[in-house]
Amino acid sequence: MANYLVTGGAGFIGTNFVRHLLEHTDDHVTIVDKMTYAARPESVDGLDPQRVTFVQGDVCDAALMDRLVAAADVVVHFAAESHNDNSLSDPSPFVQTNVVGTYTLLEAVRRHDVRYHHISTDEVYGDLELDDPEKFTATTPYNPSSPYSATKAGSDLLVRAWVRSFGVRATLSNCSNNYGPFQHIEKFIPRQITNVIDGVRPKLYGAGLNVRDWIHVDDHNAAVLRIIEDGRMGETYLIGADGEKDNKTVVETILRLMGEPVDAYDHVNDRAGHDLRYAIDATALRDELGWRPRFTSFEDGLADTIAWYRDNEAWWRPIKAATEAKYAATGQ
Ligand code: NAD
Ligand code: TDX
């Protein structure tokens, strides 16, 4: 039995990862989460108290990280400021949490020689042309566009340096866009689902031709667990499920699955510096670790996700009005 320390375990992917661990292992989990605007307390309520300990705290708090890391066998670092639009209006918490927070954890795992897995994003590679035949691989040069992706790129490079310079036992993964339950409604898919539930027309940035490579959060987390179990130290694994869709198609699919006319959406102001396309080549992960996605139908995964937001209105309702008010201020 291992003791996991999961940072950001009250956020979208982190809470799903904790549930995945509880279901598939006998391990114990300590969640550390600052409980920023992005965390819902309900996401950690009701987890088995015999197997989960919750600590409210900041990954930049060196004394706290030292104590928590010393008691762990494995650290999985999800905590981050994660929303591109927020990084355009105020980059400061992104630099602090994503860069300084990762540095703080790396120093703690170095001191205590604890296994570390770093969660990152495909956005560190910049974007692709729509017709580019190449997808991102672990050797694609870093070329981040937004303050968010630049701070994630910086955090990845810190991990690589701590592996090489100090022999820290770490793996990294860079995943494409996740969807599924417990995702904050500021993000594209849950924003539009909850808009439709509210009788509000979905909002598409610009022409809606930007492409994202969608993966169900459970498939991401299954891959993370495989990497922790059998990944090679110092290695970067790209996680993706061949789920490329343009945003217009995603909005139209949501509307169709929710029984609305497929053209019942509005075009709004585009995002500054908006990346055009992301696409992941996950061959290495499939060949080396035998990982396969379970959600091979995006429509089925989306239908499950729509059902989750319909069934869990109490989870998102308290933050809906404020989330939309923030977007209204930027004409989005
Ligand atoms: P999220 O915003 O839903 O959750 C982030 C969590 O981190 C929140 O619970 C928040 O309270 C916590 N947090 C923020 N600052 C903190 C701090 N200083 N100390 C402790 N906790 C803090 O984000 P997410 O979508 O679940 O993303 C999780 C990780 O996965 C991030 O590292 C992100 O870069 C990465 N990622 C996300 C996606 C995606 O599509 N969402 C894709 C690839 C990679
Ligand atoms: O209302 C919207 N309308 C719209 O057209 C919103 C919120 C977004 N969009 C577009 C912008 C993007 O092209 O949809 C696409 C997806 O947007 P987001 O959900 O904000 O995701 P993205 O910017 O692609 O980043 C996400 O995937 C990579 C996560 O937020 C990151 O944390 C992760 O690293």
Q: Distance from the CA of 63 to the center of ligand 2, in angstroms?
A: 34
The helix (H) or strand (E) run that includes residue 211 is strand 211-213
Assigned domain for 120 exists:
yes
The CA distance from 136 to 158, in Å, is 20
Assigned domain for 139 exists:
yes
With a 6 Å cutoff on the Cβ, whether 205 touches ligand 2 is yes
Residue closest to 291 by CA, chosen among 224, 195, 220, 223: 223
- For ligand 1, which residues put their CB under 6 angstroms from it? 7-8, 10-14, 33-36, 38-39, 58-60, 78-82, 97, 101, 119-121, 152, 175, 177-178, 184
Residue listed under structure tokens 């500054």: 272
Q: Based on the structure, what is the number of domains in the chain?
A: 1
Domain span at residue 62?
A: 3-179+215-239
At 313-332, the pLDDT tens digits run: 999 999 999 999 999 999 99
Q: In angstroms, what CA-CA distances link 23 with 17, 18, 30? A: 10, 9, 15
Assigned domain for 328 exists:
no
Assigned domain for 50 exists:
yes
For residue 207, what pLDDT is reported? Answer: 97
With a 6 Å cutoff on the Cβ, whether 203 touches ligand 2 is yes
CATH number at residue 75: 3.40.50.720
For residue 330, what pLDDT is reported? Answer: 92
Q: Note whether 22 and 14 are within 8 A (CB).
A: no
For residue 80, what pLDDT is reported? Answer: 99
For residue 154, what pLDDT is reported? Answer: 98
Q: Distance from the CA of 175 to the center of ligand 2, in angstroms?
A: 14
Assigned domain for 76 exists:
yes
Annotated active-site positions, please? 122-123, 148
Instruction: Show the low-confidence residues of the chain (pLDDT under 50).
Output: none
Assigned domain for 278 exists:
no
Assigned domain for 153 exists:
yes
At 282-305, the pLDDT tens digits run: 999 999 999 999 999 999 999 999
Residue listed under structure tokens 């009250």: 10
For residue 212, what pLDDT is reported? Answer: 98
Assigned domain for 26 exists:
yes
To the question of pTM greater than 0.90 for the whole model, the response is: yes
Q: Note whether 244 and 180 are within 8 A (CB).
A: no
For residue 107, what pLDDT is reported? Answer: 99
For residue 122, what pLDDT is reported? Answer: 98
- The contacts of residue 42 (CB under 8 Å, 6+ apart) are 314, 315
